[in-house]
Amino acid sequence: MLTATGKSIVSGIAVGNIKIFRKPDRSISDAPAEDPAAEVKRFEEAVEAVIEQQNDLYEKAVEEAGEDNAAIFQVHAMMMEDDDLLDAVKDCINDEGHNAEYAVRQGFEEVAHMFEEMDNEYMRARSADIRDLENATLDVLMGIDPDGIQGTEPAILVAEDLAPSETISLDKSLILGIVTRGGSATSHTAILARTMNIPTVIQCQEIDDSWDGMTAVVDGYNSSVYVNPTAEILKVMLERQEQDQKEAALLEDLKGKESITVDGTKVKVYANIGGPEDVEAVLENDAEGVGLFRSEFVYLNTKGNPPTEEEQFNAYKDVLEALAPRQVVIRTCDIGADKQVDYMNLDHEDNPALGFRAIRICLTRKDFFKTQLRALLRASAYGNLAIMFPMIISVRELVSARELLEECRKELEQEGIPTGPMEVGIMIETPAAVMIADELAEHCDFFSIGTNDLTQYTLAIDRQNDKLDPFLDTHHPAVLKEIEATVEAGHRHGIWVGICGELGADRDLTEQFLRIGVDELSVNPKATLPLRKVVRGLDLSLPEKVEEENFR
> Is 161 known to sit in a ligand binding site?
no
> Is 119 known to sit in a ligand binding site?
no
Per-residue exposure over 295-305, b if at least 16 CB sit within 10 Å of its own CB, e if not: bbbbbbbbbbb
Confidence of residue 397 (pLDDT cuts 50, 70, 90): very high
* Residues 98, 29 contacting (CB under 8 angstroms): no
Between 72 and 491, name the one with better pLDDT.
491
| Residues annotated as catalytic (active site), given as ranges | 188, 500
Of 329, 423, 332, 419, nearest to 382 by C-alpha is 419
Count of C-beta atoms within a 10 Å radius of residue 179? 28
> Is 536 known to sit in a ligand binding site?
no
> Is 294 known to sit in a ligand binding site?
yes
The most distant pair of C-alpha atoms in the chain lies apart, rounded to whole Å, by 85
Per CATH, domain 2-21+150-250 is 3.50.30.10: yes
For the stretch 452-489, pLDDT in tens is 999 999 999 887 777 888 888 989 999 999 999 999 99
* Residues 297, 320 contacting (CB under 8 angstroms): no
By DSSP bridging, strand 7-10 and strand 200-202 are antiparallel
For the stretch 183-203, pLDDT in tens is 877 666 677 677 777 899 999
> Residue ranges of the domains in the chain?
2-21+150-250, 36-146, 263-427+504-536
Q: Is 151 left (phi over 0), alpha (psi -120 to 50) or beta?
A: left
Compute the 3-state secondary structure of the chain and give helix, strand, coil in percent, each to the nearest 5: 50, 15, 35
For the stretch 67-104, pLDDT in tens is 655 677 788 888 899 898 999 999 999 999 999 999 99
Q: Residue 279 carries which side chain, given as an amino acid letter?
A: V
Which numeric CATH code is attached to 36-146? Answer: 1.10.274.10
> Is 452 known to sit in a ligand binding site?
yes
- State residue 433's pLDDT score: 97
Cβ-proximal residues to 309 (8 Å cutoff; 6+ apart), any chain: 371, 372, 374, 375, 378
* Residues 331, 391 contacting (CB under 8 angstroms): no
> Is 253 known to sit in a ligand binding site?
no
Q: Pick one of 3.30.360.10, 3.20.20.60, 3.40.50.300, 3.40.50.720 as the CATH number of 263-427+504-536.
A: 3.20.20.60
